[in-house]
Structure 1
Amino acid sequence: MIITVSGQPGAGSTTLAKQVAKTLHYRLLTMGEIHKRIAKQHGMAIKEYWEHQRKNPTAEKRFHNELDAYQKREAKRGNIVINGKLSAFKIPNADLKILIVASLRERAKRTVKRDGGPIKSAMAAIKKRETIERRDWKKMYGFDYIADKRYYDFVIDTTKLNEKQTNNVVLDIISKVKKR
């Protein structure tokens, strides 16, 4: 089974993907972690690397093409949870494609809980990141990973759900999909 989990920044998609992969004993591919590893190999923090990529569109496109090819190869092996904002679009044959969303305030609260800092700063940073990602990826791929919900089998709003509740909802969905 191939499962993709995408989500707005701070909505809980990475946490969910890790929990689901662990519960199902599936491999986990987290595109954000791959981005961070590559940035580190170039001696940069992730935000610095993203800015570097944005300034060089040819390199950014090549970088995304390599990541896309990698996740497609991994998906072919099956029994995997792929966590990436573009994964539902890039792996259209996935058995289950989930989008995790939450209110901006809730996403900021979660980010502050994890990283610290004031909530207003977290809200501003999330809005900025989301705006840049949506704009850049729409330009690069021709779709908006949040607005274009047709790529997802399920959209789950986690604003009022904790990690365990979200995990249980998704595991219930997976068990129903497996029975088809």
Structure 2
Amino acid sequence: MLLTISGLPGSGTTTVSRLISEKYNLEMISAGEVFRSLAKEYGMTLAEFGALAESDESIDIKIDERQKEISNTRDDIILEGRLAGHMAEKALKVWIKASVDVRVQRIVSREGSSFKDKLDETIEREASEAVRYRTIYGIDISDFSIYDLVVDSENWNQFQIANIISCAIDNCSYSNV
């Protein structure tokens, strides 16, 4: 089974991906964790690293090409990341969404800092990513038309969302899932 789970920061993609990974014994590949670890290696904040990625598209391309390669050569994985649904040709594709205020509150709860600081950082980061995705790939990140399932994480907790995705997985007619 190949599954992609995508969404903006704080929407719950990583948490839900881990739950699905455990339930179905799937390896999880997270683009966000790769991006965060690269930012740390460079000694930069996510916003600073995002700005660097704007001027050096090889950073995004490297992460995304790796996901594309994995999706074309491996089975029984979850690709988790903003563009994972675009990188995997044949997969059950899920987008998890939530309002910016809810997402930022979650980010503050997990990382600390003030709501205003994280809101400003999140808005800057998402604007940077949107420009990069459009410039590099011609992708409009706000277009959900490629996704098989869009779930609002304001309406359900992580366990309920995992159950919704499990229903899709268990009843999926895709030959590759």
Which bracket does the TM-score occupy, shorter chain normalised? 0.7 to 0.9
After superposition, the Cα gap between the structure-2 partners of 1:38 and 1:116, relative to the gap in structure 1 and judged at 3 Å, is closer
The question of whether the paired residues in 2 share the 8 Å contact of 1:3 and 1:82 is answered with: yes
Shift of 1:157: 0.6
Shift of 1:43: 4.5
1:23: which partner in 2?
23
Number of aligned residue pairs: 174
Shift of 1:36: 2.6
For residues 106 and 93 of structure 1, the distance between their equivalents in structure 2, rounded to whole angstroms, comes to: 31
1:138: which partner in 2?
134
2:37: which partner in 1?
37
- Report the structure, 1 or 2, having the larger helix content: 1
Shift of 1:102: 0.5
After superposition, the Cα gap between the structure-2 partners of 1:103 and 1:50, relative to the gap in structure 1 and judged at 3 Å, is closer
The question of whether the paired residues in 2 share the 8 Å contact of 1:31 and 1:84 is answered with: yes
2:83: which partner in 1?
86
Q: TM-score, normalised by structure 1?
A: 0.86
1:114 matches 2:127: no
> Which sections of structure 1, spanning at least 5 residues, go unmatched?
none
**Cα RMSD (Å) of the superposition?**
2.0
Q: TM-score, normalised by structure 2?
A: 0.87
Shift of 1:142: 0.8
Give the counterpart letter for 2:35 in structure 1.
Answer: H
Give the counterpart letter for 2:3 in structure 1.
Answer: I
After superposition, the Cα gap between the structure-2 partners of 1:106 and 1:39, relative to the gap in structure 1 and judged at 3 Å, is closer
2:2: which partner in 1?
2
> CA offsets, 1:127-167, max 9 Å, x none?
2222221122112211212x211111111111121111111
3-state SS, counterpart of residue 151 of structure 1: coil
Give the counterpart letter for 1:130 in structure 2.
Answer: E
The question of whether the paired residues in 2 share the 8 Å contact of 1:92 and 1:151 is answered with: no
1:77: which partner in 2?
74
> Which sections of structure 2, spanning at least 5 residues, go unmatched?
none
After superposition, the Cα gap between the structure-2 partners of 1:108 and 1:43, relative to the gap in structure 1 and judged at 3 Å, is closer
Shift of 1:179: 8.1
Identical counterparts, % of pairs:
29
Shift of 1:44: 4.0
